[in-house]
Amino acid sequence: MSGVTIRNLGKAFPKEDGTMTQALEGVNLDIRDEEFICLVGPSGCGKTTLLRIIAGLETA
Ligand SMILES: Nc1ncnc2c1ncn2[C@@H]1O[C@H](COP(=O)(O)OP(=O)(O)O)[C@@H](O)[C@H]1O
Ligand SMILES: [Mg+2]
C-alpha cells in the first residue's frame, strides 16, 4: 500500500445548541508516494480536521 486516497470524506462536529458544524464535505484527494503536498486555506476551513482524520486521530 502506498500514498493516500480519499473519496467523498465528510466530518461534522456537534455544537452545544444541538446543531452540527460541517467541517468537511465531499473531500476527494489522491496523494502518491513521495509526493509533497501543501494544504492551504483560510482559518476554519478544515485543514487540521483533515490531517487528524488521515493520521487516524479522528473518525471521518
Ligand atoms: N473538536 C472540535 N469540536 C467542534 N468543532 C470543531 C472541532 N475541531 C474543529 N472544529 C470546527 O471545524 C471547523 C474546521 O476546523 P479546523 O479543522 O480546525 O480548521 P483549520 O485547521 O483549517 O483552521 C471549524 O468550524 C472548527 O470550529
Ligand atoms: Mg488548523
13 lies in some domain: yes
User: From the DSSP assignment, how many helices (H) and strands (E) are in the chain?
Assistant: 1, 2
> DSSP alpha helices (H): ranges in 1-60?
47-54
CA distances from 12 to 2, 26, 32, 36, 48 (A): 28, 12, 27, 27, 13
9 lies in some domain: yes
59 lies in some domain: no
Grid cell 470524506 is found at: 9
Q: Phi then psi for 11, rounded to 5 degrees?
A: -150, 130
37 lies in some domain: yes
Q: What pLDDT was estimated at residue 26?
A: 98
Q: Determine which residue's CA is closest to atom 14 belonging to ligand 1.
A: 46
- The model's pLDDT over 11-25, given as tens digits with 9 standing for 90+, comes to 999 999 999 999 999
Q: What pLDDT was estimated at residue 1?
A: 60
16 lies in some domain: yes
Structural domains in the chain (count): 1
Compute, in angstroms, the gap from residue 40 CA to the centroid of ligand 1.
15
Percent above pLDDT 90 for the chain? 97
Q: Note down the domain range covering 32.
A: 4-54
**Average pLDDT of the segment spanning 39-56:** 97
Is the C-beta atom of 11 inside 6 A of ligand 1? no
